[in-house]
Amino acid sequence: MALAYPARSLWPDYTRAGIGLAIALLPMPWVPPGSFGNWLLGLLALLFGGFAAMTWVKHRTTVQMSPAGIRTRGPVGRGIAWEALDRLALRFYSTRKERGHGWMQLKLSGGGASITIDSNLDRFDLVAARAARAAAENALALDPTTLANLESLGVWPVDSEAGR
């Protein structure tokens, strides 16, 4: 099964990167070189540049899930066999005080590789469910934050028959 980040979910991030770069780079001519303002704007430009690059990498990446493992194909391709999975962390981020309209990030590690998947990936819940099942099969100790987030997705406790 091959999954990708839908372009419509990435355009807001491209827009943020563009506006951020404009805010950081446009005032540069008026700021004396070497000043605090210059460093601050340079740092912001680097940050937004890095974010643009990261969004592009996501845009070009597909995630392939098979009974044997999970693999990303694209500029940064990596693979982890489910049997080798030794770490699973599911984080939730939101910029709002009431913690609404946030997004999740799934980090998988094993066999010397690590893969990070954001929740705007198509069928993210399937990936999280399969990873949770692999974690249960490998008897991984999951931290309370990850457990709470998996529960909120409805993929924990693992249903051993589901997703096979």
Partner 1 sequence: MLTYIVRRLFIAVPTLMVVSAIIFVIIQLPPGDYLTTYIAELQSQGEAANSGKIEFLRKQYGLDQPLWKQYVFWVLGMFQGDFGYSFEYDLPVSDVVGDRLWLSLLLNFSTVIFIWMVAFPIGFYSATHQYSWGDHGLTFLGFLGLATPNFLLALVLMYFLRIEFGISIGGMMDPQYVDQPMSWAKTVSIAEHLIVPVVVIGTAGTAGMIRRLRANLLDELQKQYVTTARAKGLPNLRLLLKYPVRMSLNPFVADIGNMLPQIVSGSAIVSMVMSLPTTGPMLIEALRSQDMYLAGSFLMFLSVLTIVGMLLSDLALALLDPRIRLGGRARR
Residues within the interface to partner 1 (CB under 8 A): 9, 13, 16-17, 19-20, 23, 27, 30-32, 35-37, 41, 44, 47-48, 50-51, 54, 91-95, 98-105, 118-120, 124, 144-145, 148-149, 152-153
**Residue 73 or 91 having the CB closest to partner 1:** 91
Minimum CB distance to partner 1, residue 138 (Å)? 20
**Residue 3 or 69 having the CB closest to partner 1:** 3
Minimum CB distance to partner 1, residue 98 (Å)? 7
Return the ∠ at Cα 118 (arms to 114 and 14), rounded to 5°. 115
**Residue 88 or 104 having the CB closest to partner 1:** 104
Pairing of strands 78-81, 69-73: antiparallel
User: Distance of CA 103 to CAs 58, 91, 120, 149, Å?
Assistant: 15, 8, 8, 11
Minimum CB distance to partner 1, residue 129 (Å)? 14
**Residue 114 or 145 having the CB closest to partner 1:** 145
**Residue 68 or 152 having the CB closest to partner 1:** 152
How is residue 160 annotated by DSSP? T
Residues 45 and 25: beta-carbon distance below 8 Å: yes
CB-neighbour burial class of residue 115 (10 A; exposed 0-12, middle 13-18, buried 19+)? buried
CB-neighbour burial class of residue 30 (10 A; exposed 0-12, middle 13-18, buried 19+)? exposed
DSSP three-state, residue 96: coil
Minimum CB distance to partner 1, residue 90 (Å)? 9
Minimum CB distance to partner 1, residue 68 (Å)? 26
